[in-house]
Structure 1
Amino acid sequence: MDREDLPPPTPPRPPRTPDPRRIRDTASSRSRGLNAPTETSQPNPGQSLATHTHVLTTDDLDGTEGARTYRFAWGETGYEIDLSDAHRDELLRALEPYITAARKTTAPRRARRAATTD
């Protein structure tokens, strides 16, 4: 094939601006104590996309950053809450007389589903 038979080269594409519909509102997520990535974007055709997700755990009571997730159960219901160290200490102080008076038990085992064969 000769050079004259080749199509002209395609000019490079201009950089894409982020689509505002794809950027998440992290301020409202933070106030509700949700863990949300800060931004998402799509690659240009022919490009690969490298992503970095930063998860920030916030206190479910007041929205402060740097909380940890704690699990507990009451009756048949399990709960999970994200608390700062100060709120964790408040919860433990409130429960201390009940924990001290309570008896320790083992967690109930979940029933396994039996494999079925036809």
Structure 2
Amino acid sequence: MSEAEARPIVLVVEDDAVTRRAAVEMIAEAGYAVREATDGNVAIRLLDEEEGVRVVVTDIDMPLGIDGIRLAACITRRWPRIGIVITSGKVLPIPGDVPPEALFLRKPYSEESLVAAIRSRMG
């Protein structure tokens, strides 16, 4: 049995290393397999290469390349079965920016709220 069959994969897209590491640890402790990307461009490459990603947790504000809003729109178009959780501590999304199927989670978030958001997007 492959890892994707054993444990759903969650991709964390976050440019801040400390925040990314904390999110990865919370998600792994909840029993998910985790991949990480430092920006939207890396995330799209990873999604192209790896099957089995079920949910993407992305920050909105990423200075390099594709931001979280554009990444979410791309995922919705290319991989409509992947759930999306969009996070931010600085930027509040404008209504209509977040795809209807995505969930917005304000930072700082608790482990419980992050895991609940991921579960709700698993479908």
For the criterion TM > 0.5, the same-fold answer is no
Which structure is higher in RCO with an 8 Å CA cutoff and minimum separation 6?
2
Q: Which has the higher helix share?
A: 2
Q: TM-score range by the shorter chain?
A: under 0.3
User: TM-score when scaled to structure 1?
Assistant: 0.19
